[in-house]
Structure formats: C-alpha cells, structure tokens
Structure 1
Amino acid sequence: MFALFKDKFNVLFMGTPEFAVDTLEMLIHNHNVLAVVTQPDKPQGRGYKLKSSPVKEVALKYSIDVYQPDKVKDNDEFINKIRNMDLDLIIVVAYGKILPSDILNIPKFGCINSHASLLPRHRGAAPINFAIISGDNKSGITTMFMDEGLDTGDIIEKYEVEIEDYMTAGQLHDKLKLISAYGMKDTLQKIKNGTIKRQKQDDSKSTYAPIITKEFAHIDFSKSARDILNLIKGLNPWPVAYCLYEEKK
C-alpha cells in the first residue's frame, strides 16, 4: 500500500458503550470525525427513562452530528447520508450491528473495526467475558478490515495484554478500552504511512463469544473449582454469577 499524503482522515465513527469512548476521543483529537452512529436511546432504571449511549454523550459534547438508526440494512435514507459525507474511513468499536456491503463499500480506504480479542479467538459480542471464562492467559485488541461476516475480516494488527490471575472481566474491559484507542491510532498511522499488512484469519482456530445472558450466570457445581472461579471473574461486574440455596439466589 502506498503512503497517503493526508494529515487527517475524514471519519465516520460507529460505536455504543463505554468501551468505545476512548477510541472516539482519540479520533476527535487526531482526525476529522464528521458524524457518529450509535444505538437508539433505550429505557433504563426503575422509571424506564430513555438514556443516551456513552458514545452519544461524547459526540454531543463536541457538537458532532449523531445518527441513531433502528436498522442499518435496507435503510436507503441512512445509507445515502453516509454516501454524501466524503469519507476516508468508517471506524467501528462495539457498535452492536453487522454492517451490510452497501455501507462497507462507501469509504475510500475501507471500514476498520477494533475488536476486544486476539482474533480469530472469541469472535462475537462478549469476547472480554469469554477470555476470562475460558481461562485464557492473554487477550488484546485486534484491528481489522471489516467484511460482511461476524469479526471475520482481514487482520491489520494485534495488541496483546497479559490476563493476570486475579483479573475480572471489568478490569480487563478497562485495560482494553485504553489499548483500543492506542491500537486504532497506531493502525491509522500505518495506513497513512502505507505500512499495513493484511492477514487472513485462520477460521479453523476461531471460537465464538455469544451475548451473555443472566441464565448463563448460574453456577454449575459439577464443574471444577477453576472453571467456577473463572465464571465468577468473567461475569463480574455483570451479570454476576449466582447459585441457588433453598430456591433462592
């Protein structure tokens, strides 16, 4: 890939939870974030009041346009808005939806995702939890060019961290969200320099990290002590592993 004579990229950022905020902040301070796409506001708490995503709150703080489509596939109005943005890149961090080819093909240099695992291990929605639950001794961030699959695109770079024996999912989350910002900054610099190398994923080594449900948190005491401990750490701070005693949690 040739070096690009461009100081700042025109970027559309797509993300939703707290995990994505540091990467968004990095982009705001180093590139031109033309707009942000995040999940619609959702009712939360006892009063079921609508609450904005952490990513939306940051975007509004910087007066960046925010889009919150209910769907991204077969949404011509939304897709046309993106087409009119003159985008170099779409950057995705924990957005929560798979992007169709109509969107993936819009930016000049592609769509780049920051995924919280060492791909192809732990593809899916809950890679941080499953790294702990599986007893992995390392995790990290993978930056990749997106395709239409679930975390199946070509790898650009991996940024590894050690998983300490005491570490919970919450602690790993907080470490990886910082590395996501660093990794994306480094990846974009490599794109500018023309030094990236695309690497196909080895599908035979892939594992899946599905969405965590409260039912998944029920402790099975037929498992080993190590497996139970990993489950407890991997579901901290949410949804928290539990057991029943006399039909009560």
Structure 2
Amino acid sequence: MKKLRTVFMGTPDFAVPCLDMLFKEGYEVAAVVTQPDRPKGRGQKLAYSPVKEAALAYNLPVLQPGSIKNDDFYNQILSLRPDVIIVVAFGQFLPKKLLDLPAHGCINVHASLLPKYRGSAPIHWAIINGERTTGITTMYMDVGMDTGDMIIKAELPLLPDDTTGSLHDKLKDLGATVLSDTLNQLSAGTAPRQPQNEADATYARMLNRDTERIDWHQPAVAIHNLVRGLNPWPVAYCRLQNKSLKIWQTKVYNASQPCTEPGKVVQITKEGLVVETGKGTIEVLEVQPESKRRMKASDCVCGYCLTVGNMFE
C-alpha cells in the first residue's frame, strides 16, 4: 500500500511524536510547517520550536510563515502536492482554501474525546473537571474549532494522581499511535467519517489568571483537581501573608470533614500543612513562595514560620 505524501503542521512538544512516527514509518514529508522562532529565557534569544528541532534532525524542509492565510503560503503548499496535511497543535486556524487543498483533507490530532473539550486547553480542563477518562481523537478539519467529522477515538484512563504534565506525555504518544492507524485507513480507503453530536459539545477555554487562583470556598476535591490540572503550567496559586504562593502538589486529606473557615491552616503534618476548604480539608505538599524556588511544604512551614491559624487568602 502506497504511503501518503504529507505536509506536517505543528509546534510544541506534544506534536513531536507524530512527526517521529511519520519519519520512522517511511512517510514522505514534503515539508514541516511550524511557528516562527520566538524569544526565550532571560537573554530573550530566538529559540526553535520543538517541532522545528525534530524536523531539522530528520533533514526535513521547514517553513515558518508569519501567517498561513496569504496566497504566497497557499501556493507554496500547492506546489508540494500533498495527499494529506496533518495538523497537531500548530497554533493557527487553517483557512478554507487550504483545508480544501489535499485530496485526503487536513487531519487533526486532538487531545480529547470529541466533542468534549474542543479548544486550546483540553488536557488541563479534563483534569480540573475531575474526568475519569480522556483520550485522542483524529478528525477531518473544517473551518470550526475542532468541529470536523471524527475518524478514530482512543480512550485513556485518567488516574487520580495524574497532572497535566503526566497526562500530556501519555497523550502525545497515544496521538502518534492513533495517527498511524488513521493514515493506514485513509490509504486503504476505509477511514470512517462520524459527525460530532453538537448537543454533547463542550469547550476547553483558554486559561487565565482568574482560573489559576485557588478559591478555598470550593470543595477539597475541586481544589486538588485544580492543582493537578495546572501542574506544571501555569500552576495554581493563592496569597499568604500578602504574598503570592504557588501550590504545586496537594492531596485530599478529608473529603467530607465539616469546615467553618475555608483557607485556615488547621494542622501541621510531617509532609506539610492541612487547610480547611468549603467542604473537607486538603493537605498542601509542595509550594513555591514568591520569588523563591519550589520546595516541600514542610520546608516552607519551617522557613516562613507557618502555624495553625494562618489564613490562605
């Protein structure tokens, strides 16, 4: 069976296993399209995207357009004659003219079980909302946000201690496997096409500073899920003693204990400290005080003289 000629569009680390798979399975990658180099770090030196680094390691041609909506870029892709365009966390919406270009369409690898969690932060919100399962969906792209017909869905259990970081790493590998199956079915002419049920659609909206701030009036389980869902980026936070305090790791101490003062430290433990919430108590295990390094909460207790009765704002 002939391998499809592809153009790959992606930017972050999440997309790299899919590009690795294309190379290792012998697909002809006519070009890799990724976002322009961005300033990074204290020196603000221009840095390659993870996808660009992978493409260069495979000696693949790299395109980095500022915009993909102009005729010059369209004509450049047209000249490459791709059978299919593969899009994995690229970072720009594709115009209809480009979506209609390849004979087999534009295929997206999305990190949720569509139609749930369309949008830019599906991994974060699956954890924040306490989902028990998530997964990967491949789909034919259209002009909407993750609204195209689905091809293959693969489920993955979401473990109680998963963070966005750990789930991201599982899903990026699963994405490569599902993409491989999808391309095989496309080549064979057996790929299914299942419309999404709009009634079941939900959206994983962009994260902002309000999302990151812990509301201690929420139940302990919800706060724990928020901390997991924002680890390792952008990290949940609160305020203590008029300073910002990032909360990296927690565990539910007692999910149903009656509480009267949400945010109050009620116990110092060997590993950290126990805080009242709107329902139940939560043990804070790892923190990062303002302008300081990450540390065990027990070290913060000693270094900042925290005691029972302190209030998290």
The TM-score, its normalising length taken from structure 1, stands at: 0.95
Question: In structure 1, how many angstroms separate the alpha carbons of the residues matched to 2:98 and 2:191?
Answer: 22
**Aligned partner of residue 31 in structure 2, secondary structure:** strand
Please point out which of 53, 58, 69 is paired with 1:57. 53
Question: In structure 2, how many angstroms separate the alpha carbons of the residues matched to 1:48 and 1:131?
Answer: 33
Question: What amino acid is aligned across from residue 198 of structure 1 in structure 2?
Answer: R
Question: In structure 1, how many angstroms separate the alpha carbons of the residues matched to 2:205 and 2:19?
Answer: 25
Aligned pairs for 1:1-249 within 5 A = 6-30=1-25, 31-73=27-69, 75-249=70-244
Question: In structure 2, how many angstroms separate the alpha carbons of the residues matched to 1:72 and 1:224?
Answer: 45
Question: In structure 2, how many angstroms separate the alpha carbons of the residues matched to 1:211 and 1:52?
Answer: 24
Bigger shift: residues 94-103 or 208-217? 208-217
Question: What amino acid is aligned across from residue 21 of structure 1 in structure 2?
Answer: V
**Aligned partner of residue 112 in structure 1, secondary structure:** strand
**Aligned partner of residue 118 in structure 2, secondary structure:** coil
Shift of 1:215: 3.9
Shift of 1:211: 2.1
Question: In structure 1, how many angstroms separate the alpha carbons of the residues matched to 2:90 and 2:208?
Answer: 19
**Per-residue displacement from partner, 1:118-167 (whole Å, max 9, x unpaired)?**
00000001100000001100000000000000000000010100001111
Question: What amino acid is aligned across from residue 201 of structure 1 in structure 2?
Answer: Q
Gaps of 5+ in 2: 245-313
Question: In structure 2, how many angstroms separate the alpha carbons of the residues matched to 1:174 and 1:213?
Answer: 23
Question: In structure 1, how many angstroms separate the alpha carbons of the residues matched to 2:192 and 2:132?
Answer: 26
Shift of 1:49: 0.9
Gaps of 5+ in 1: 1-5
Question: In structure 1, how many angstroms separate the alpha carbons of the residues matched to 2:194 and 2:208?
Answer: 33
Shift of 1:168: 0.5
Shift of 1:193: 2.1
**Per-residue displacement from partner, 1:154-190 (whole Å, max 9, x unpaired)?**
0001010000111111000000000000000011111
Shift of 1:191: 1.3
Count of matched residue pairs = 243
Runs of 4+ in structure 1 over 3 Å off: none
More relative contact order in 1 or in 2 (CA 8 Å, sep 6+)? 1
Question: In structure 1, how many angstroms separate the alpha carbons of the residues matched to 2:243 and 2:200?
Answer: 40
Kindly name which structure, 1 or 2, has the bigger radius of gyration based on alpha carbons. 2
Question: What amino acid is aligned across from residue 15 of structure 2 in structure 1?
Answer: A
The TM-score, its normalising length taken from structure 2, stands at: 0.76
Query: What is the RMSD of the two structures over their aligned residues, measured on CA atoms?
Result: 0.9
Bigger shift: residues 239-248 or 156-165? 239-248
Shift of 1:69: 1.1
Bigger shift: residues 220-229 or 150-159? 220-229
Identity of matched residues, %: 51
**Aligned partner of residue 244 in structure 1, secondary structure:** strand
Question: In structure 2, how many angstroms separate the alpha carbons of the residues matched to 1:196 and 1:102?
Answer: 23
Question: In structure 2, how many angstroms separate the alpha carbons of the residues matched to 1:210 and 1:27?
Answer: 30
**Per-residue displacement from partner, 1:185-239 (whole Å, max 9, x unpaired)?**
0111111222221110011111111222344211011111111000000000011
Question: In structure 2, how many angstroms separate the alpha carbons of the residues matched to 1:8 and 1:115?
Answer: 22
